[in-house]
């Protein structure tokens, strides 16, 4: 059972003397304990699983995750934050509880001995999209992902076809996960306040076990289409798309995930008709 003195963290939240937020790490420390608790509660939708928190900073979210009575590990790249966590969270102070490392370079299939886990955190703003692409590489180990990110990124994750927010990240995330935009968080509850609003999301693995098409070809098509998103697909996918295809005059954001899968299969048949 983890314990932590809430009064002590309130003191550091007020003065922020021990660990200073670092711009190059995209750090914006949350100082509203009610919001921190609400974020921690988002993991309750995936009960029983161990939890990996990314970017704990001074442990504002960590203290509430620790009350979930689950195995908890945190990964932090900032040495000052790691030192603070080791001093103030002794129950986590071991070789695996507090991981001083770059999350983007971790082998997530080894984090909990190959067992699935919940990914959560107040994610660093400068790598939030990279975190989700990293998650996709280990989707079989992460049935649930929650946390706080820039509102713009949250809107991209949850976007529907036909909207400006719908893009590459949307397609790849929604192929494998159901996305919930939970609530918006204003800048004033952070130190330092970011220039944008934030949002809390929850991603839950859907029933998809196979993309229904050649995944590498799907990635190529989606990326190529959205790199020229103002063009109709007959232009951005010139040389790939069959002539006269029903999606030829559409723009990429007008296609949903299922349509991109269908388009990928049509292009695969067009390129290699003998193997499809």
pTM to 2 decimal places: 0.89
Closest CA to 120 of 167, 182, 169: 182
Provide the pairing of β-strand 190-191 with 29-30.
Answer: antiparallel
CATH number of 215-271: 1.10.8.100
Q: What is the predicted pLDDT for the residue at 220?
A: 97
Do domains 6-205 and 215-271 share one topology? The answer is no
Q: What is the pLDDT of residue 14?
A: 45
Q: What pLDDT sits at residue 143? A: 98
Identify the pLDDT of residue 29.
75
Query: 3-class DSSP state for residue 200?
Result: strand
The values of phi and psi at residue 32, to 5°, are -100, 110
- In order along its 276 residues, the chain shows pLDDT tens digits of 344 445 444 544 443 456 565 555 555 678 899 999 999 999 999 999 999 999 998 899 999 999 999 999 999 999 988 999 998 998 886 678 999 999 999 999 999 999 999 999 999 888 999 999 999 999 999 999 999 999 999 999 999 999 999 999 999 999 999 999 999 999 988 877 778 899 999 999 999 999 999 999 999 999 999 999 999 999 999 999 999 999 999 999 999 999 999 999 999 998 876 554
What are the extents of the domains in the chain?
Answer: 6-205, 215-271
Looking at the domain 6-205, which fold is it? Rossmann fold (3.40.50)
- In the three-class reduction of DSSP (H, G, I as helix; E, B as strand; rest coil), residue 17 is classed as coil
- The answer to whether the beta carbons of residues 184 and 151 sit under 8 Å apart is yes
């Amino acid at each position: 059972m983890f314990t932590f003195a809430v009064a002590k963290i309130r003191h550091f939240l007020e003065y922020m003397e021990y660990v200073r937020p670092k711009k190059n790490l995209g750090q914006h420390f949350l100082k509203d304990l009610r919001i921190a608790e609400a974020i921690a509660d988002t993991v309750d939708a995936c009960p029983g699983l161990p939890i990996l928190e990314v970017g704990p900073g001074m442990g504002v979210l960590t203290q509430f995750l620790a009350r979930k009575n689950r195995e908890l590990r945190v990964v932090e790249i900032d040495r000052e934050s790691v030192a603070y966590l080791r001093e103030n969270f002794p129950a986590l102070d071991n070789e695996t509880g507090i991981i001083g490392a770059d999350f983007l370079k971790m082998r997530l299939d080894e984090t909990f001995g190959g067992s699935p886990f919940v990914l959560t955190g107040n994610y660093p703003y400068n790598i939030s999209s990279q975190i989700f692409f990293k998650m996709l590489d280990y989707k079989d180990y992460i049935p649930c992902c929650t946390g706080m990110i820039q509102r713009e990124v949250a809107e991209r994750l949850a976007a529907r076809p036909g909207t400006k927010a719908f893009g590459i990240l949307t397609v790849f995330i929604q192929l494998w996960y159901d996305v919930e935009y939970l609530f918006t968080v204003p800048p004033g509850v952070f130190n330092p306040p970011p220039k944008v609003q934030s949002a809390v999301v929850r991603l839950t693995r859907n029933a998809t076990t196979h993309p229904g098409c050649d995944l590498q070809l799907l990635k190529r098509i989606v990326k190529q289409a959205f790199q020229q998103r103002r063009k109709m697909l007959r232009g951005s996918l010139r040389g790939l798309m069959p002539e006269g295809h029903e999606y030829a005059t559409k723009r990429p954001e007008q296609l949903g995930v299922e349509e991109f899968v269908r388009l990928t299969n049509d292009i695969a048949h067009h390129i290699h008709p003998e193997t499809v």
